[in-house]
Amino acid sequence: MHEKHTVKDWMMDLVVFVDPDQTVYEILSIMRRRYINSVLVRKSDKNPDYGIITSRDISDKIVAENRNPKELTVKDIMSSPVVSVRQDLSIKECAMLMMENHIHHLPVIDDNGLIIGMVSASDFLLIAEAMGTNFQERSLS
């Protein structure tokens, strides 16, 4: 199953972009309200690169270090550069890329390099469940 399916089959097409000068406190509110664990940071109109803030960044760089999110901006804690994946990459290759880079969130890009979605480690819970269903169906036939 995982060899046939691509990242596009499993990605979330909701991607939230934030400004690097927003406070981390503002971003926390956005993430909580939208039930998401990551946001992409658009560095500037002139700079096509992106940064990312994930729930892990919040845990490691805010909570663990006892820092005030109202006093920090997005650019203070974002991770950059961002590793991204093509929409046609296999799920297995995507999982390997996450494992090799020790990351849990990957923006998905189309053939023009535009961000069209996001895939995260938690998506692999659904993928693994689907794999188990497919294995069970094959063993019953």
Per residue in 22-71, pLDDT tens? 999 999 999 999 999 999 998 766 666 789 999 999 999 999 999 999 99
Structural domain includes residue 2: no
Q: What is the mean pLDDT of residues 13-28?
A: 95
Structural domain includes residue 19: yes
Instruction: Please state, in angstroms and rounded to a whole number, the distance separating the CA atoms of residues 106 and 97.
Output: 9
Number of domains in the chain: 1
Supply the CATH number for residue 78's domain: 3.10.580.10
Structural domain includes residue 82: yes
> Which one, of 118, 126, 26, lies nearest residue 71 by Cα?
26
Asked whether the whole model's pTM tops 0.85, one would answer no
Structural domain includes residue 43: yes
Q: How is the chain split among helix, strand and coil, in percent rounded to 5?
A: 40, 20, 40
User: At 100, which amino acid appears?
Assistant: E
Q: Residue 33 sits in which domain range?
A: 7-140
139, pLDDT greater than 60 = no
How high is the pLDDT of residue 46? 64
pLDDT tens track for 86-116 = 999 999 899 999 999 999 999 999 999 889 9
141, pLDDT greater than 50 = no
